[in-house]
Amino acid sequence: MQNPAAEEEIKNTIEVLRKGGTILYPTDTVWGIGCDARNKEAVAKVYKIKQRVEYKSMLIFVNDETMLNRYVKKVPPIAWELIETATEPLTIIYPNGRMLADNLIAADESIGIRLVKDDFCKTLIQKFGKPIVSTSANISGEENPSSFKSIKLDILNSVDYIVNLRQNEVVKAKPSTIIRVDMDGSIKIIRK
């Protein structure tokens, strides 16, 4: 990432994440609310901003296969095939998440993870060295914002830092496909 403005935003964002803060940032789908996925207090703040009950877990972003392997006890082989053939953003719910904030892992120990392709997110996570939470920038149950300009003031005022990039972009953004995988190779489409 050669863009000096993007480099500065990554530096500022990492500073907030390290202090346990929450961020509002552009992703490869819709704008997201995020935090350090290993910080329980930061994750609790995101649930509060979203007005979301903690048993309805959120997904995390990782930047590469090594990071994915670190936060899942064992990646089912079928997941690698799905990742390799995906043409659009794909979130996979894995059994047995680990080493993450315990209020992020579902009661059945599963965790939703997306291997990001977006340059900003990828570089941010790589430089931060840890996965980050990603949940749409809306109150739970409300419609996903189609652009930065459609994010409600309540959300804008609730986060600790707003990434100052791509705020004027208007893209036909939609949330990622979500597929649940199990060790036996079974898959279940949760959201297409």
Instruction: Walk along the chain (192 residues) and give the pLDDT tens digit of each residue.
Output: 568 888 999 999 999 999 999 999 999 888 999 999 999 999 999 999 998 877 678 999 999 999 999 999 999 999 999 999 988 889 999 999 999 999 999 999 999 999 998 899 999 999 999 999 999 999 888 888 878 998 999 999 999 999 999 888 776 667 788 889 988 888 888 888
Say what the pLDDT of residue 166 is: 84
Residue 170's closest CA among 150, 185, 154, 186? 150
Sign of CA dihedral 57, 62, 65, 66: negative
Say what the pLDDT of residue 131 is: 98
Whole-number Å distance between alpha carbons of 132 and 161 = 14
Axis crossing angle, helix 119-128 with helix 4-18, rounded to the nearest 10: 50
Say what the pLDDT of residue 62 is: 97
Is there a contact between 136 and 173 (Cβ–Cβ < 8 Å)? no
Say what the pLDDT of residue 116 is: 92
Number of structural domains, the chain?
A: 1
Sign of CA dihedral 60, 28, 1, 9: negative
Supply the pTM of this predicted model.
Answer: 0.91
Residue 142's closest CA among 15, 33, 67? 33
Say what the pLDDT of residue 173 is: 65
**3-class SS of residue 44:** helix
Domain range spanning residue 177?
Answer: 4-191
**3-class SS of residue 123:** helix
Q: DSSP letters of 68-115? A: HHHHBSS--HHHHHHHHH-SS-EEEEESSB-SS-TTTS-TTS-EEEEE
Residue 40, H or E segment: helix 40-50
Counting every residue written for the chain, the total comes to: 192
Is there a contact between 107 and 97 (Cβ–Cβ < 8 Å)? no
CATH value at residue 156: 3.90.870.10
